Each structure stands twice: as C-alpha cells, then as structure tokens.
Amino acid sequence: MLIDSYYSEDANGINISRQQASRFAKGIADDFNPLHNPDAKLFCVPGDLLFALVLAKYGVSQRMRFTFSGMVDDSQLLRFSTVDGDRLSLEDSAEKSYLEVDRSGTNSCEINFVESLTRSYVEFSGHTFPHVLIPLMSQHKVMINPARPIVIYQSMEIDLERVDIPETELEFSGAQLDVEGKRGSVRLDFLLKTSGNTIGSGTKYMAMRGLRPFDQQVVDEMISTYMNHKQSGY
C-alpha cells in the first residue's frame, strides 16, 4: 500500500524512523516543516502519517474523528488498541495514547478508495503553511513567533454519505481563525467529491500559540526560509 515503506512493524510493535517520517512529509504531503527533518532537535512524526496508517490498517468509515494527544518521535514502539469496537487508540508500551479515532457507519477497505482519500487529505493538510495560515494571520493582523512557531494539529473529522466509491477528491471550502490574546484556533473545511458530486465533508482543527502583531517583513522572511527548505529538498 501507499505507506508501506514509511513505517516498520514486528511482533514488538510499530516504529517510524526519522528518515521514514521525513520522506513521507516531503514526498507525500509536500510538507517541509523543520520538525520533520531527520536531524531536528524536536523531531516529531507528521500527524498525517498517523492518519494514513489508520486508514491503511482499518479502512475508511463513514464518520471518523481523529484526536491527537501527543507528539510521536522515533523512539517509541506503538500499537493500536481497540476500545468498545469502534474506538481506536494508538499507544506506546506504557499505554500512553497519542491518537484516538472514533468510527461509525459503513466501512470500506477498498484499496483505491483508501489511497485516494489518503493522498487527497494529506496533500491538502501538508499545504496548510504557508498557503492557508499566512492569509488567515494577515487578515487578523497576528502571526506566530518565527523563533518558536507553535502550530498544533489537534484533530480532524470526516463525514461521508457513502463509501462504495472507487476514489475521492478533496476540495478546500473555507478557513476560520479565532484569536484570543496570544492563542488562536484554526478551522479548515473541505468537501469530498467523486465524479464532480459531493459525497462528504470534513474539518481540520489546529491551535496556534505565542501570537504577536503581524509584521509583513518577518512573515516574508518566514515564507522565504520555508520555500528555500522546500527547493533544496531539506
């Protein structure tokens, strides 16, 4: 499947190396966040890779909500635990949970559908910065701290009318930022379509911390640094 080369699994559990996480972020999500670089001091596995792992193992249910509760690094051995049949928890050996997934409705494990949804969502999600967040911050005259940019992927949800389809495409449908002091809550909405017809919708939620007054010059420098990383493949 699409993500087979981006994680390792044996009898002891699931492990994602720094190299695997970085290749997924850059090659699949087109995401050049420095936190996903192999040599990053505060390295973390992309939340979108964990999303893709869930879909690869458990398929797509009509209604799914993913709630992230911790950062995964390359040192952890992970496993999925099933709670009450419909809830999944991704845990380490100490039973600390990093991701919970609530599922309901009809489920599909049809590989083309699973992979098309995975690719569509991950590519959309990976382009959050700078394509979506910068215009939002400009509109509200705030920005993240360039020295310590804190943008937290909190959760995402999808709601599908049906899952008996060969593939799906994602269409961005709107963004919202609510600012309260130095904190911001971001909501990104999207539609899921097949053959031009809308068959579902979804939302990604993020939190921003350490907001400060918008400075166009500083923002331009952040964008330039990000694009230089992308062009160099770093």
Q: Model confidence over 17-58: pLDDT tens digits?
A: 999 999 999 999 988 888 888 998 889 999 999 999 999 999
Q: Do 126 and 118 form a contact (C-beta atoms < 8 A)? A: no
Residue 234: the pLDDT is: 56
Is-contact 201 173, C-beta < 8 A? Answer: yes
Mind listing the pLDDT tens digit for each residue in 132-151? Answer: 999 999 999 999 998 888 89
**b/e string for 197-222 if b means 16 or more Cβ within 10 A?**
eebbbbbbbbebeebeeeeeeebeeb
pLDDT at site 47? 95
pTM comes to: 0.93
Sequence-distant (6+) residues with CB within 8 A of 224 are none
How many CA atoms within 13 Å lie on the side-chain side of 157?
A: 9
Domains and CATH numbers, the chain: 4-232 (2.40.160)
Burial class (CB in 10 A: 0-12, 13-18, 19+), 62: middle
Task: Using DSSP, state whether 61 is helix, strand or coil.
Answer: strand
Which residues does residue 65 pair with via DSSP β-bridges, in sequence order? 102, 157
Identify the residue whose tokens are 């496993």: 79
Q: Which amino acid is at 179?
A: V
pLDDT tens for 48-81 read: 999 999 999 999 999 999 999 999 999 999 999 9
User: Token digits for 209?
Assistant: 């911390």
Structure confidence by residue, pLDDT tens digits, 196-215:
999 999 999 999 999 999 99
Distance CA 132, CA 225 (A): 17
* CA distance to 12, 16, 27, 225, per residue, from 76 (Å): 11, 8, 23, 30
